[in-house]
Structure 1
Amino acid sequence: MAPIPTQREKRIVGTSLKMYFDLPSTLRYIDAVSQLSSAAEQANVDLFVIPDFVTLLSAKGKLQNTSIQLGAQDTYSEDKGAFTGEVSPLTLKQAGVNIVEIGHAERRRLFGETDQDVAKKAAAIVRNGMVPLVCIGEKSKSNIASQAVGLAVSECKPQITAALSQIPDDAEVILAYEPVWAIGAAEPAGADHVVTVTQNLRELVSGRKGRTRILYGGSAGPGTFDKLKDGVDGLFLGRFAHDVKNLETVIQEMSDGS
């Protein structure tokens, strides 16, 4: 098992709005999140928000005088061409996007995305000067702790290997570990499970030259990070962050001094 890094990475937290909000409520939410910029800076925590594609330009304007990073929920693997309905990574970069989420379990399940698709998208993101946020996670669940960890690592390893295979070794990457069975659940995965799995995944990427941070997602919220900080660098929040007060609480809990 990999040791806990003596000099850990800067902590990071963010949220994806998926398709929960309409246009007016998304813009109100971005306004509210923009007020958390100083709190994140004081806590020495990187903060990002991922709205829908339609509101990206408006969100950029609302966040331009803050330290908050803007993210996108997906991208296509080509910069230009006859790809009706897809979104170009070049356009996302021009729209002010810093982080692009790819490989979410919903994309894999609903739209048939494969590890190879995710790898191509990761390459496109890095090629355009952005950071891929690669979602990884196991479908299988075991009630026996040792088996559960082994299943998780064995299912996540090829997902990570594929994504990293198409990008330079010195490229920055964020890995969001989300056990598929924990997404949308009432409670997050057990802390011992998450810490052990993410420590194993960190060992897998320990030789990279590029900055590699690991987040936990999957029903994460206030109170989650403290239990997981020996394994992860931050949290990828879902519906708990729809209440901005919860997001503010998580930022405070992740303060550099904690």
Structure 2
Amino acid sequence: MATPPRRRIVGVSTKMYFSAARTRRYVSELLQILTSSPPDLLARLDVFVIPDHITLASVVSQLAGTRVLVGAQDASCEDAGPFTGEASPAVLAEVGCRIVELGHAERRRLFGETDRDVARKAAAAARNGLTPLVCIGERARGEAAAAAGECRVQVEAALADLPDGADVILAYEPVWAIGAAEPAGADHVVSVTKAIRALDCVRRRKGTTRILYGGSAGPGLFAKLQDGVDGLFLGRFAHDPAQFYRTILEVATA
């Protein structure tokens, strides 16, 4: 029996760029745009928004009754306990969070997170019914084969403790392309993501494994990458709701 096609997906993280008021306005403006979109648009793909921790619960309320998923920018590997300042994956699930972004290059660089830390957090997310969105990517610009090798180590570690049937999203974000003026070249991205898809730890999983591209991603990119990825993970280019919607349309129709 043929494997059904993976559902496309596109989303945005606001990192720590927005105030609470701007987050409310952003979500409200996005909803207004989506209200006037083709009625079956969000039935064709998954769309997610990842705000900061402080506004997450209010964003869940704003998006209640829609198909737009809400994610968190990080989560603890523990469900509860004496962990001051941490965000419990159990509580995130309780308030309506659906996705947890883990292992972003900034957290690895600024907070010293390791592949093992990311793996423990991914397992904690999955046991609480959340979908781990695990960021992977090579540090320095180079050949696709070397990049794929560096990513393989990260992917194998992230999936090591994840239940075989759990869904996971891998966000391929070359570290050198994050915040750059241009994304990584399409040939490079497709080569690396196809290599990731071919890994035994990915190919043999029962759960759905989707791959996104992030790293200066924006409108006009998905059509060039769709042979290797299932969607895009956007940053500053989607901080304008109209631009985000333009990218949603592209991913849905390419």
- State if a TM-score over 0.5 links the two structures: yes
* Equivalent residue, structure 1, for 2:197: 202
| Conserved? CA contact 1:216–1:232, under 8 Å | yes
* Equivalent residue, structure 1, for 2:181: 186
1:223 and 2:232 matched: no
* Equivalent residue, structure 1, for 2:96: 96
Q: TM-score, normalised by structure 1?
A: 0.93
CA drift of 1:34 comes to 2.6
Describe the shift of the 1:128–1:36 C-alpha distance in structure 2 as closer, same or farther (beyond 3 A): farther
* Equivalent residue, structure 1, for 2:169: 174
* Equivalent residue, structure 2, for 1:34: 31
Matched residues, number = 248
User: Where do residues 1-258 of structure 1 align in structure 2 (5 Å cutoff)?
Assistant: 7-37=4-34, 39=37, 41-42=40-41, 44-142=44-142, 148-204=143-199, 205-255=202-252, 257-258=253-254
Distance in 2 between residues matched to 1:217 and 1:231, nearest whole Å: 13
The AA in structure 1 aligned to 2:94 is Q
Distance in 1 between residues matched to 2:190 and 2:34, nearest whole Å: 28
Describe the shift of the 1:66–1:36 C-alpha distance in structure 2 as closer, same or farther (beyond 3 A): farther
Which blocks of at least 5 consecutive residues in structure 1 are unaligned? 143-147
CA drift of 1:37 comes to 4.5
Distance in 2 between residues matched to 1:158 and 1:164, nearest whole Å: 10
| Superposed CA offset, 1:4-51 (max 9, x none) | x98531110000100000110011111122335454842612100000
| Conserved? CA contact 1:37–1:67, under 8 Å | no
Distance in 2 between residues matched to 1:176 and 1:222, nearest whole Å: 17
Describe the shift of the 1:36–1:72 C-alpha distance in structure 2 as closer, same or farther (beyond 3 A): farther
CA drift of 1:140 comes to 2.1
| Conserved? CA contact 2:9–2:45, under 8 Å | yes
| Conserved? CA contact 1:219–1:237, under 8 Å | yes
Distance in 1 between residues matched to 2:103 and 2:18, nearest whole Å: 21
CA drift of 1:207 comes to 1.2
| Conserved? CA contact 2:13–2:235, under 8 Å | yes
In structure 2, the residue corresponding to 1:215 is in which secondary structure?
A: strand
Identity %: 58
Distance in 2 between residues matched to 1:35 and 1:15, nearest whole Å: 17
Distance in 1 between residues matched to 2:52 and 2:208, nearest whole Å: 26
In structure 2, the residue corresponding to 1:123 is in which secondary structure?
A: helix
CA drift of 1:56 comes to 1.2
Distance in 1 between residues matched to 2:118 and 2:68, nearest whole Å: 25
* Equivalent residue, structure 2, for 1:145: none
| Superposed CA offset, 1:217-239 (max 9, x none) | 00000001000000000000000
| Conserved? CA contact 1:134–1:163, under 8 Å | yes
| Conserved? CA contact 1:37–1:66, under 8 Å | no
What is the aligned-residue RMSD (CA, Å)?
1.4
| Conserved? CA contact 2:30–2:242, under 8 Å | no
The AA in structure 2 aligned to 1:153 is A
